[in-house]
A and B are shown apart, each in its own frame.
Chain A
Amino acid sequence: MTETRLRDAMPTAIGTPPDAVAPILQVQNLHTHFFTGEGIVHAVDGASFAVHPGKTLGIVGESGCGKSVAAKSILQIVDKPGRIVDGEILYTYTDKSGRYRHENILSLPSDSRQMKSIRGGEISMIFQEPMSSFSPIHSVGNQLTETIRLHTDMDQRTAREAAIEWLSRVGIPNPARRVEEYPYQMSGGQCQRAMIAMALSTNPRILIADEPTTALDVTTQAQILNLLQRLQAEQGMAMIFITHDLGVIAEVADEVAVMYLGRVVERAPVQEIFRNPQHPYTRALLTSIPSIEAQPRQRLPTISGSIPHPQNRPPGCPFHPRCPEYMAGTCEQKEPQLASVGTNHEVSCFLYPGC
């Protein structure tokens, strides 16, 4: 599908309430490419995943797997020279008149009023580097107030009170005083708390958290993870949690999508991923995490080779050059598709029929 055809696509359903298990957001066959001087980088190359109301989808993968670009594609904030070239992002929501809508939000122009109200309002996002995600020259309070005013019809004073209220909800002591502070006056953990306050202040239905604890110390990370889980339960929102850390996935995710070189290679509930991983990449990833319970000074099992540069993407299954189960004549010839291997469990690997 080309971009112009995407723009013409219309809402697919109006007025029918979704059933309880229907996903709130469904990403289908997403392709986001970067058109660089040296060639096209297929950062996201046919990724599909779904987010259910009130649940957490964990997207896990190593650097260059496209997890962040996929998340930014949802909000249409992919940096240049990146462009969403294909795919659908179906979002189920209630409009102002109370009707259920089921719409491909990729068809909305990035600067349309509707997309602007979704971005930061219905779906908000927090980032890895809280310090650089805030503007350094405006106080945290002003930035929070501005966000709240942008998405609600509160006046300046009420919005400021709401901002203070939010800072206190995310566990920042002395919120009435801290609201005047600038990002540089806060520690990394405090800044991430303020970022979370800003993202949640508009009561989003989906929060996208892109490696929100990677830059933090372990004790701070544990505090932030607890905070996010508590607020998720209070607000009843869905979350897309992006991380490279399988330990964090095990703590927060309900469903997991494992990505490799722009594609989802396995999708399953979190317990299934850890107990019964099917894709050779998922299995290898799970055995190569060091543990504090392991016998010291033992060699770890490894995945051979390294992640190819996205411009030198291997043909066929992108994992085949590193795969211990590589089948010559199949894996480098065709691209496997996601196929069901059990309840809610999908894998894209030729080891399984239907791929």
Chain B
Amino acid sequence: MQENVVLQVNNLKKYFPVESGFLKRQVGEVRAVDDVSFAIAQGETVSLVGESGCGKTTTSRCVIRAIQPTGGEILYRTEAGKVVDLAKLSMNEIRPLRRGFQMVFQDPFSSLNPRMTIFDIVSEPLRVNNIGSRAEREDRVAELLKLVGLRGEYMQRFPHAFSGGQRQRIGIARALAASPRLIVADEPVSALDVSVQAQVLNLMMDLQDELGLTYLFVSHDLSVVNQISNRVIVMYVGRVAEIGPPQALFKDPKHPYTAALITSLPKPDPFNRSDRQIPEGEVANPANPPSGCYFHPRCPFAIDRCRQETPALEEIAPGRAVSCHRARELQLFEQVEG
């Protein structure tokens, strides 16, 4: 693992059993995450993007070991510089490491306990890790609230007194309390209004610059992902379709699924209402995926090989990797000179 890499995920797999009948016999499995690999360097934001059922949330939950992966490695560099495989450690061994990786959740309404004060919520990571005295924690919470743009006096209030955007700031303050290195943010702005969404994205970028944080960002929204990411991983039915820097990926996608996602996006431009080519059909069922490339039933470029062979993720340019048999020959979007 390279010196500056904080997290390296190798061949991660998470299969959920499908059980049936009184004896709960296993009759199948849902391959929620199937052979996903990526690495995140210190200070970088890597986003997982895709439609529902693509495995982006399951991947992020495996990374913080909220669930046990079925296979693969999750290599994490601790603050002391030691590399550990989170996939293999027991819960007891992981507990002391948890300070280093924290989570920000999607729904700011259900992710804050309504019966706890803001002080209790934000200081909880400190309390469970036995950090500081009560007075020190109070100072730290005031500092954290200021950091996320809220007033220190707010710490005696309860969550119901705050708007969605303010609550998400509180959620971020809680994640930052124990000074983590890695933040896993699962759709952190999806529940917010556009005018508030931009505030929270700006805040997350500012905090990253200030504190040198590393983000694993999960979202279904390509525009949000473009805003915040250094690198984007497009997932489809548990597998990686394409990896690359956001602008390269969105201007010149190499996987037909990435191209389909981009053309499906409504464009905020009423002067250019195009007759767009929208992919037909629906996202494949991960409990019963199609043969070969999972995207082939919806892919306008599918050939026989796509129906039979699963494409491997291949590097086609520095920083760009695609899992498509025809990635090298296809030009999906017209390229503008210069």
Contact = CB atoms under 8 A, between A and B. Distances in A.
A189 interface: yes
A62 B270 contact: no
Given A291-B226, A292-B262, A306-B196, A297 B205 contact: yes
Contacts of A221: 264, 266
Interface string A46-68: 00000000000000001100000
B220 A218 contact: yes
A288 B198 contact: yes
Contacts of B202: 299-300, 302
A284 interface: yes
Nearest to B273: A251
A321 to B, nearest CB: 13
Interface stretch (B28-36, B76-84, B158-166): B158-166
Contact of A302 (B198, B220, B278, B283): B198
Interface string B204-224: 010000000000000011111
A284 B195 contact: yes
A351 interface: no
A307 B195 CA distance: 9
Contact of B261 (A62, A218, A270, A303): A218
Contact of B271 (A62, A271, A306): A271
B149 to A, nearest CB: 11
A294 B226 contact: yes
B193 interface: yes
B81 to A, nearest CB: 27
A63 B193 contact: yes
B278 A222 contact: yes
A287 B73 CA distance: 42
Contacts of A218: 51, 220, 222, 261, 264-265
A290 B266 contact: no
A290 B264 contact: no
A306 B270 contact: no
Contacts of A290: 197-198, 201, 221, 223-224, 226-227
Given A219-B261, A299-B205, A302-B198, A271 B193 contact: no
B267 A250 contact: yes
B279 interface: yes
Contact of B266 (A189, A225, A270, A286): A225
A274 B270 contact: yes
Contacts of A299: 202, 205
B282 interface: yes
A222 B276 contact: yes
Given A219-B278, A285-B195, A292-B222, A247 B268 contact: yes
B247 interface: yes
Interface of A: 62-63, 187, 189-190, 217-223, 225-226, 244-251, 253, 270-271, 273-275, 284-286, 288-303, 306-307, 309
